[in-house]
């Protein structure tokens, strides 16, 4: 038995924690990559990052220029950006506080500690690297504590669903924005291209795995790994597969069937990611594919909400 409101909160704890973690990763990786780049390219490189988070308009209302400082302010600690790391952690914690009786004590204390860590930034000023590091560690701890202390009931599957849906969407967006930038942005040196793709891989913790798997950096291969790999925990396919399992566990559907629109859509994209080759995807246009993918992720989120959290009661 699980209240709709509780399931809703669990789902969003997963999403917000994952969003904070992803944002910290891209911020941190970009910052370190740029330390070795000519300073005049900075603006160019911070702008796409803002785009990845989907908050470009809001950013330029507040800041003239995209720089390490403004990006950190906006993506890291701003209270005006509803998707800043700080806001995400606050929201995750607010959701957790509302249902703390349903969490393990360990999980609540862990989220609460991370919240207090992130709130301290307010008083002291903060170093970007240390801040991102704390958030990333917090993200890892979150997964670890969930794994080690939560019963594998529906609640766990809602947290999972929130995490993997968020992660799938984020990976798709990172790939989309950077690909776009490389194709349509001002020409950059080959060497810098490599750096950029390496940064992309690092931001999804896939650099080492890629090197072992493919060796040389090639955009098509990077795309293949990020989209279609069945084993890497940040590839879109991996996450949609996990999403499908969790949705089935919640509804009791068996593979090959679906109980609601969220399951149907998840199954549909997952199928494509299983059987399409990267060449086929490129032939149809990567950007189109990624746009569809992101749109589907949004719809899946809405459909989960409609099926489980906010359904109408007929008296």
Partner 1 sequence: MPLESFEEQRKLADLSYLVQGITFTVYSDGRGTERLFPFDLVPRIIPRSEWDVIERGLAQRVMALNLYLQDIYGAQRILKDQVIPRNLVFSCKHFRREMVGLNVPRDIYIHVSGIDLVRDSRTGQYLVLEDNARSPSGISYVLENRLVMRRTFPRAFEVSEVMPVDHYPSELARILRSLSPRSGERPVVVLLTPGLYNSAYFEHCFLAQEMGIELVEGRDLVVVDDVVYMKTIHGLTRVDVIYRRVDDDFLDPLAFRSDSMVGAAGLINAYRAGNIALANAIGTGVADDKAIYAYVPAFIKYYLGEDPILMNVDTYLCSNPEHLCYVLDHLHELVVKAVGESGGYGMLMGPSSDKKTIEDFRQRLKADPRNYIAQPVIPLSRVPSFDPAIGGMSPRHVDLRPYCLYDGEKVTIVPGGLTRVALQRGSLVVNSSQGGGSKDTWVLRGDE
Give residues in contact with partner 1 (CB under 8 A).
Answer: 1-5, 7, 94, 97-102, 105, 108-109, 112-113, 116, 154, 250, 308-309, 311, 313, 315
Q: Please, is 300 exposed, middle or buried when counting C-beta atoms within 10 Å of its C-beta (0-12, 13-18, 19+)?
A: buried
Least Cβ distance, residue 5 to partner 1 (angstroms): 5
Least Cβ distance, residue 286 to partner 1 (angstroms): 37
Least Cβ distance, residue 255 to partner 1 (angstroms): 20
Whole-angstrom Cα distance, residue 158 to residue 11?
A: 5
Nearer residue to partner 1 within complex by CB, 32 or 102: 102
Nearer residue to partner 1 within complex by CB, 59 or 158: 158
Tell me how far CA of residue 240 lies from CA of 17, 38, 205, in angstroms. Answer: 18, 38, 18
Whole-angstrom Cα distance, residue 168 to residue 247?
A: 15
CB 301 within 8 A of CB 165: yes
Nearer residue to partner 1 within complex by CB, 214 or 309: 309
Least Cβ distance, residue 266 to partner 1 (angstroms): 17
Nearer residue to partner 1 within complex by CB, 63 or 102: 102
Nearer residue to partner 1 within complex by CB, 99 or 204: 99
Contacts 24+ apart (CB under 8 A), 185-189: 185/44, 186/44, 188/41
Least Cβ distance, residue 259 to partner 1 (angstroms): 11
């Amino acid at each position: 038995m699980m209240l709709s409101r509780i399931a809703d909160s669990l789902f969003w704890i997963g999403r917000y924690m994952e969003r904070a973690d992803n944002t910290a990763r891209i911020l941190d990786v970009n910052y370190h990559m740029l330390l070795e780049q000519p300073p005049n390219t900075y603006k160019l490189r911070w702008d796409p990052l803002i785009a990845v988070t989907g908050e470009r308009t809001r950013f330029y209302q507040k800041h003239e220029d995209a720089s390490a400082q403004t990006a950190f302010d906006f993506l890291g600690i701003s209270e005006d950006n509803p998707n800043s790391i700080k806001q995400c952690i606050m929201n995750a914690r607010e959701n957790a506080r509302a249902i703390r009786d349903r969490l393990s004590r360990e999980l609540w204390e862990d989220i609460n500690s991370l919240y207090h860590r992130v709130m301290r930034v307010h008083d002291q000023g903060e170093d970007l690297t240390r801040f991102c590091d704390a958030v990333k560690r917090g993200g890892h701890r979150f997964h670890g504590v969930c794994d080690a202390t939560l019963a594998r009931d529906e609640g766990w599957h809602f947290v999972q669903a929130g995490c993997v849906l968020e992660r799938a969407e984020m990976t798709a967006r990172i790939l989309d924005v950077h690909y776009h930038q490389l194709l349509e942005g001002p020409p950059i040196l080959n060497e810098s291209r490599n750096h950029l793709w390496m940064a992309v891989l690092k931001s999804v913790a896939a650099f080492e795995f890629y090197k072992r798997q493919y060796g040389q950096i090639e955009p098509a291969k990077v795309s293949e790994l990020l989209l279609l790999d069945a084993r890497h925990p940040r590839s879109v396919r991996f996450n949609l597969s996990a999403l499908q399992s969790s949705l089935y566990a919640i509804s009791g559907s068996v593979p090959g069937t679906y109980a609601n629109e969220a399951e149907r859509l998840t199954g549909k994209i997952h199928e494509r990611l299983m059987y399409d080759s990267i060449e086929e995807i490129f032939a149809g246009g990567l950007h189109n594919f990624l746009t569809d993918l992101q749109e589907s992720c949004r719809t899946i989120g809405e459909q989960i909400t409609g099926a489980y959290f906010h359904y109408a009661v007929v008296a």
